[in-house]
Structure 1
Amino acid sequence: MPEPGRWAGRNPAKDIIRHDIWAQLEAEGINVGPAWSMIPNFAGADLAAWHLAQTPQWKAAKTGKTNPDHAQTPIRIRALYEGKIVYTPVPYLTKDFPYLKLDPVRLQASGISFELAATPQGFLEHGEKLEFEQVQRLDFCVVGSVAVSRAGGRTGKGAGFADLETAIFRELGVVDAQTPMATTVHSLQLVKDRHIVIEPHDSPLDFVATQSELIVTGNAMPRPMGVDWSKVRLDQFDTIPFLARLRDRMLARRAG
């Protein structure tokens, strides 16, 4: 049996639901590539992207953020073809810089296909390197998920990257409480509301798009509006090279 997850043990209840979803995806042959310890790619990811792209909020957006995983490559491709600027974090935040910018005008001028630039390998090679403070205001945010509920609860892969990024952006004013938060998943990743553990740092979803439907959650839970640095785990400071420097800048910004 595969390992329960490289970030297992931080929240046992979340570990259980992740384990169940990864196992179901593999049993049904839905995953595309490895599923365990990841935001899983899935058959029908392009259809889920299509459903999400029909929302008025997506159509009105000029800028957007997505997680870096393969499951969200189709939504990045759509965004670039629609002329949207796309921001994507470095996978696992392992570089000295946190973010990359994909500008469709710049990519076209350089002869780089949107299909290439939208892949994890492509945006690392062709994206513009940025600090968090250089990301412009975001009109729409797409996060990766392992399990979600119709009420907008979300469980990620367990590393805490997405919630940390969102909290940083909220504190910097890059997103606010009205910025749409969405995900794309396979319908097998939908679970009962009671199975999703909501912690204070978690951001609820406004939209959940699957290969067969768009779910408008109507979630009105409070959004965490900044980073509680005392709750950031020590291992995150160890594995994210720029995080301590960012913390110092943001604390100085608060004090100023």
Structure 2
Amino acid sequence: MLRYMGATDDSTVILTTVHDSQLVDDIPVEKLQIHDVPVDIICTPTQVIFTNTTIPKPQGIYWEKLSPEKLGQIRVLRELKARIEQEMGTKLPCGPPVKLPQASKQEGLECKREGR
């Protein structure tokens, strides 16, 4: 989304924070998907790691990878997709339907926030 808005580009440094116990030596490149964002700097409570990654950053939103079910869970993407489709006057692609894992479903749950 940030790429689409022009807020990031290939030179944007991606930094994350994790606990030392969450570090792994390597993530095989073949396990990464087109939408995965490679991290340039990892900060833990005890160290700062510069990954020197050469893995390319995503170039935008890959609508063809988003299933209707997943898109249904992410309101900001649904709204952005609708806005782009309206501006372009055409439908954007959508990924194939998938059955989401049970943990991802929130059927019957209501989120009640003060003031809403």
Q: CA offset at residue 207 of structure 1?
A: 0.3
Which structure dedicates a bigger proportion of its chain to strand?
Answer: 1
> Number of residue pairs matched?
88
Hey, what does 2:105 align to over in structure 1?
A: none
Q: Distance in 2 between matches of 1:202 and 1:250?
A: 22
Q: CA offset at residue 229 of structure 1?
A: 0.8
Which structure dedicates a bigger proportion of its chain to helix?
Answer: 1
Q: CA offset at residue 236 of structure 1?
A: 2.3
Q: CA offset at residue 254 of structure 1?
A: 5.8
Q: CA offset at residue 186 of structure 1?
A: 1.0
1:180 aligns with 2:6: no
TM-aligned CA distance change 1:184 to 1:242, over 3 Å? closer
Q: CA offset at residue 253 of structure 1?
A: 4.9
Q: CA offset at residue 179 of structure 1?
A: 1.1
What value does the CA root-mean-square deviation take over the aligned residues?
2.1
Q: CA offset at residue 193 of structure 1?
A: 0.9
Q: Matches of residues 150-165 of structure 1 in structure 2 within 5 Å?
A: none
Q: CA offset at residue 185 of structure 1?
A: 0.7
Cα deviation, 1:135-183, whole Å, max 9, x if unaligned, reads xxxxxxxxxxxxxxxxxxxxxxxxxxxxxxxxx1102211111111111
Q: Distance in 2 between matches of 1:194 and 1:253?
A: 39
TM-aligned CA distance change 1:217 to 1:253, over 3 Å? farther
Hey, what does 1:239 align to over in structure 2?
A: 73
For the residue of structure 2 that corresponds to 1:171, the secondary structure is: coil
- Asked whether the equivalents of residues 72 and 78 of structure 2 are also in contact (C-alpha less than 8 Å), the reply is no
Amino-acid identity (%): 32
Hey, what does 2:33 align to over in structure 1?
A: 199
Hey, what does 1:214 align to over in structure 2?
A: 48
Instruction: Normalising by structure 2, report the TM-score.
Output: 0.65
Hey, what does 1:169 align to over in structure 2?
A: 2
Q: Distance in 2 between matches of 1:186 and 1:230?
A: 34
Q: Distance in 2 between matches of 1:254 and 1:214?
A: 43
Gaps in structure 1 of 5+ consecutive residues: 1-167
Gaps in structure 2 of 5+ consecutive residues: 90-116
1:227 aligns with 2:61: yes
Q: Matches of residues 36-185 of structure 1 in structure 2 within 5 Å?
A: 168-185=1-18
Instruction: Normalising by structure 1, report the TM-score.
Output: 0.31
TM-aligned CA distance change 1:242 to 1:170, over 3 Å? closer
